[in-house]
C-alpha cells in the first residue's frame, strides 16, 4: 500500500512539472494561432452574411419590363427598387453623422444639468415673488 502511494505521488509530481518551451516552439505556436480566425471575428462574419445579403437584395435595381428602343418612360419600363428612395437617402445621411467623444458628451451633459438647475431656480424664485405680491394685493 505504501509503495502504491509513493508511485502515485511521483506520477502526480511528474505530471505537474511541465517541460519548458523553447522560443522556437512558442513562436511556431503563435504563428499557427495567428493563421486561425478569432472566435469573435467568426461570429461577426456569420452574423453579417445574412444582413448583407438582405441589404444587397433591397438596394438592387429591378426591371419589370425591358425598355423599348424608343426609351419611353412608362410605369413598367422604369427600374424599381424594393426600398423607397427616402430610406436610401436617410441611410446616407446617417452615415455622414459624426458622433461626439466621451469628453465632449460629458461636457454637454453637465451643461444641460446646470441649465436645468438655473431655470428651475429662476422659476421657483419668480413663483415665490409673484405669490407674495398677489397675496399682498388681493388679500
In this prediction, residue 46 carries a pLDDT of 78
Residue 103 pLDDT level (bands cut at 50, 70, 90): very high
> What is the pTM for the complete model shown?
0.36
Using one digit for the tens of pLDDT, what is the confidence trace for 33-73?
776 667 777 777 777 777 777 777 776 766 666 655 555 56
- The domain locations on the chain are 53-97, 99-139
Across the chain, what does the average pLDDT equal? 78
Short-list 56, 106, 99, 103, CA closest to 81: 56
Amino acid at each position: 500500500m505504501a509503495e502504491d502511494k509513493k508511485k502515485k505521488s511521483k506520477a502526480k509530481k511528474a505530471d505537474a512539472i511541465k517541460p519548458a518551451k523553447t522560443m522556437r516552439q512558442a513562436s511556431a505556436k503563435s504563428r499557427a494561432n495567428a493563421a486561425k480566425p478569432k472566435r469573435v471575428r467568426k461570429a461577426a462574419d456569420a452574423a453579417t452574411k445574412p444582413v448583407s445579403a438582405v441589404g444587397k437584395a433591397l438596394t438592387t435595381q429591378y426591371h419589370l419590363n425591358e425598355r423599348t428602343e424608343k426609351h419611353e418612360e412608362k410605369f413598367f419600363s422604369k427600374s424599381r427598387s424594393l426600398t423607397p428612395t427616402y430610406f436610401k437617402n436617410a441611410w446616407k445621411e446617417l452615415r455622414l453623422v459624426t458622433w461626439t467623444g466621451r469628453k465632449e458628451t460629458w461636457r454637454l451633459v453637465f451643461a444641460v444639468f446646470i441649465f436645468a438647475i438655473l431655470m428651475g431656480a429662476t422659476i421657483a424664485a419668480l413663483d415665490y415673488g409673484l405669490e407674495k405680491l398677489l397675496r399682498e394685493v388681493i388679500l
